[in-house]
Amino acid sequence: MWSESHLHEPAALRAVATPHAATPATKDPAMRDFLKIERLSKAYTPSKPVFADVSFGIDKGEFVCVIGHSGCGKTTILNVLAGLDSATSGNVFMDGREIGGPSLERGVVFQGHALMPWLTVRKNVAFAVESRWPDWGQAQVNEHVEKYVAMVGLSHAIDKKPSQLSGGMKQRVGIARAFAIAPKMLLLDEPFGALDALTRGTIQDELMAIVRQTQQTVFMITHDVDEAILLADRILLMSNGSDTPQGYVPGGIAEVVVNPLPRERTRASLHHLDGYYELRNRIVDFLVTRAHAH
Ligand SMILES: Nc1ncnc2c1ncn2[C@@H]1O[C@H](COP(=O)(O)OP(=O)(O)OP(=O)(O)O)[C@@H](O)[C@H]1O
Ligand SMILES: [Mg+2]
């Protein structure tokens, strides 16, 4: 069981007071707020920002998931963190430096897989690996690429082009490519959305193992509540912007839920753990009744 205070944490208060029960890395103050997002807002229409005043931090080695309905701005935030889009106002810092553009320090898995259609699986992954380590020889690049392609179960398709792959296979190439460059931070936009349940489970396990081994810091968008509970140390619940009788209310981080379950949890054990159903109900309840202001 967990205390109520873990469950309702206004984003602005997140700074230092949060108990990070599930995140061993955060015991070290140097690991805190590796990624720092300050008062971010994005407006395509000035009077109706998609979201406003979004502030949160991610510690080194922490796994943070974002859950929210379609259109609340999850991908927009991820793109700003990736340096691919700019916010209307606010700032983002990684490792003390402001993010001003894309970098190989951040590995991104896009909601659409974003592969180069004219290149094979091998060459799509190799392109990223060669950019990351330009002085590597061909044999070293190949060995590295083959390891990550095998990790996502695609060795048999390594010399195929994206047009010859299913949606889930293409998504797995995107995952291999992001992991293969050993980034300081992984930004994952619904990376398992197009996968069948079995593959999804296998890759979730791989992701967990890699993240634990490498103390990888991860920001991941998912629509799957159980996936968030399995993987995340903290779950950000995002609300949609809505018209209310009092006027338009922009979307934002409505709640930050600290995952109280032991970090060694597995898919098979999840629903047997104390606190699992309470946690799950709280997230589902948010999505059903509180994700839109009214
Ligand atoms: N280039 C753009 N011009 C205008 N509006 C945009 C643009 N890109 C995104 N939007 C709007 O911003 C909002 C947030 O989009 P975003 O893609 O971030 O949502 P999301 O939370 O990732 O949704 P989903 O779960 O469907 O992927 C949506 O209402 C979308 O229509
Ligand atoms: Mg999206």
- The per-residue pLDDT for range 220-274, each reduced to its tens digit, is 999 999 999 999 999 999 999 999 899 999 999 999 999 999 988 888 889 999 9
Euclidean distance between the first and final Cα of the chain, in Å? 31
Q: Is the pLDDT of residue 89 over 50?
A: yes
Packing angle of the helix pair 121-132, 138-151 (nearest 10 deg): 120
Q: Do 89 and 24 share a structural domain? A: yes
44 lines ligand 1 (CB under 6 A): yes
The residue among 182, 207, 238 that closes a domain is: 182
Which atom of ligand 1 is closest in space to residue 73's alpha carbon?
Answer: 18
76 lines ligand 1 (CB under 6 A): yes
pLDDT > 90 fraction of the chain, expressed in percent and rounded = 63
Q: What is the number of other CB atoms lying within 10 angstroms of the CB of residue 221?
A: 23
Q: Do 76 and 59 share a structural domain? A: yes
Q: Measure the CA–CA gap between 217 and 63, rounded to whole angstroms.
A: 6
270 contacts 205 by C-beta, under 8 angstroms = no
**Considering only CA atoms, which of 217, 242, 248 is closest in space to residue 292?**
242
Q: Do 86 and 9 share a structural domain? A: yes
Q: Give the number of domains in the chain.
A: 2
Q: Do 99 and 174 share a structural domain? A: no
72 lines ligand 1 (CB under 6 A): yes
263 contacts 215 by C-beta, under 8 angstroms = no
Residue 233 structure tokens: 């140390």
Q: Do 86 and 18 share a structural domain? A: yes
Is residue 209 in some structural domain?
yes
Measure 78 CA to ligand 2 centroid, in angstroms.
9
Q: Do 133 and 264 share a structural domain? A: no
Across 5-9, 60-64, 140-144, 288-292, least confident range: 5-9
Q: Do 86 and 20 share a structural domain? A: yes
Return the pLDDT at 42: 96
Instruction: Pick the ligand that lies closest to the CA of residue 54.
Output: 1
73 lines ligand 1 (CB under 6 A): yes
Q: Do 200 and 173 share a structural domain? A: no
Residue 43 structure tokens: 């407006």
Instruction: Pick the ligand that lies closest to the CA of residue 224.
Output: 1
Return the pLDDT at 27: 60
Nearest residue by C-alpha to atom 27 in ligand 1: 70
75 lines ligand 1 (CB under 6 A): yes
Return the pLDDT at 193: 82
251 lines ligand 1 (CB under 6 A): no
Q: Measure the CA–CA gap between 87 and 78, rounded to whole angstroms.
A: 11
Return the pLDDT at 205: 83
Is residue 110 in some structural domain?
no
Residues within 5 Å of ion ligand 2, judged at the Cβ atom: 75, 111
Measure 76 CA to ligand 1 centroid, in angstroms.
6
Q: Is the pLDDT of residue 281 over 50?
A: yes
Q: Do 197 and 175 share a structural domain? A: no
Q: Is the pLDDT of residue 103 over 70?
A: yes
Per the structure, the complete domain to which residue 174 belongs is given by 118-182
Residues 6+ positions from 1 with CB-CB distance below 8 Å: 260, 274, 275, 278
Over residues 120-179, the pLDDT tens digits come to 999 999 999 999 999 999 999 999 999 999 988 899 999 999 999 988 889 889 989 998
The residue among 156, 182, 208 that closes a domain is: 182
Q: What is the number of other CB atoms lying within 10 angstroms of the CB of residue 280?
A: 16
pLDDT band at 26 (very low <50, low <70, confident <90, very high): low
Instruction: Pick the ligand that lies closest to the CA of residue 50.
Output: 1
Is residue 29 in some structural domain?
yes
Is residue 113 in some structural domain?
no
79 lines ligand 1 (CB under 6 A): no
